[in-house]
Amino acid sequence: MARQLSAIENGDLSSQLEGDGLVIAITGPPGIGKSCLIDCLLHKLTPEHKIAVLAVDPSSSISGGALLGDRVRMSVLDDDSKSESIFVRSIATRSSSGSVPSIVQSLANHLLGNGFEIVFVETVGAGQSEMRCAAISDRIIVVEGPARGDGVQAEKAGLLELADLIVVNKCDLDGADKVVNDLTMSLTITEEKTPISKVSALTGEGIDDLAKSVLKIPVRLSSKRARFREQLFMAHESKITQNPDLDSILDRMSQEELGVEEALRRLYE
């Protein structure tokens, strides 16, 4: 499976597989506990369900490298009774301008087509670009938590409105109730009320109920519309990033030999 996904990622294999499972994007600011939360869910949902995790790591804009170290946080992989029903893979953002590269959709579909019931996509967690996760997911879970100032940063407002479920993690810390209240107030302007769950990946509080909710999160109309919008943006981006002349055009632009409009014309030729 790892070799097949690598071939898809490198463009050497085109998979047309699709399954009936769910692709669930789990997003939120760095350090909020997304990996630990996924680990808790895997403990609860496996081995009854076969689950894959695609963890997206940011690539360096200078070296192009990425840490790809999310698996070190997955304690569930140490449990032989559960690890057989789990597949974890880290994905580098590479040249994608958003937090979730377009190739993740192909990888998720391939996993679903190979019998996985759920694919969790853990995104980078870096502001407004997180809305890109809408394009490759059936449901969006936004993770928030205390000790983040006002509880709802301005750059996350658009994403909160798109969430199918909001999880306030680290509820064992002071300020969690305030975050829930802040989120509730922020979401009063939306027609569809987004459910909010309060959990602690550290103590396990609320994890049982969250695991049950994950399997039956209802789709919201605003989230569905956002997916189609982001799919259009992603298709536009793919045309640019997959162009073999991209690097040479960027070199010419940096040398002030080529303007943006002319560069776009050449990329779309």
pLDDT confidence of residue 100? 59
- Is the pLDDT at 43 greater than 60? The verdict is yes
Tens of pLDDT, residues 145-204:
886 655 455 445 567 777 899 999 999 999 899 888 888 887 776 667 789 999 999 999
3 state SS for 177-198: HHHHHHHHHHHHHCCCCCCEEE
Reported as half-sphere exposure (CB side, CA atoms, 13 A), residue 107 has a value of 30
Q: How crowded is residue 131: how many other Cβ atoms within 10 Å of its Cβ?
A: 22
Residue 211, judged by CB atoms within 10 A of its CB (0-12, 13-18, 19+), counts as middle
Buried b (16+ CB within 10 A) or exposed e, 6-28: eebbeeeeebeeebebbbbbbbb
Give the pLDDT band (50/70/90) at residue 246.
Answer: very high
What's the mean pLDDT when you consider all of the chain? 82
Domains of the chain (ranges plus CATH)? 2-220 (3.40.50.300)
- Rounded to two decimals, what is the model's pTM? 0.83
Provide the pLDDT for residue 220: 81
| Per-residue pLDDT band at 30 (split at 50, 70, 90) | confident
pLDDT for the residue 93: 65
Long-range CB pairs of 183-186 (<8 Å, 24+ gap) are 183/144, 183/151, 183/152, 186/152, 186/157, 186/160
8 A C-beta contact, residue 223 and residue 134: yes
209 has pLDDT over 80: yes
pLDDT of 56-114, one tens digit each?
876 444 334 334 445 566 788 888 889 889 999 988 765 555 445 678 888 999 999 99
Copy the structure tokens of residue 234: 């992603």
* Predicted local confidence at residue 110, as pLDDT: 94
Q: Where does residue 136 rank: exposed (0-12), middle (13-18), buried (19+ CB within 10 A)?
A: buried
The backbone region for 151, taken as left when phi is positive above 0, alpha when psi lies in -120 to 50, beta otherwise, is left
**pLDDT in the model for residue 149:** 54
CA angle at 134 for the pair 129 and 138, rounded to the nearest 5°:
155
252 has pLDDT over 70: yes
DSSP state of 97: S
Say how many CA atoms lie within 13 Å of 168 toward its Cβ. Answer: 24
Q: What is the mean pLDDT of residues 114-141?
A: 80
CA distance 233 to 226: 11
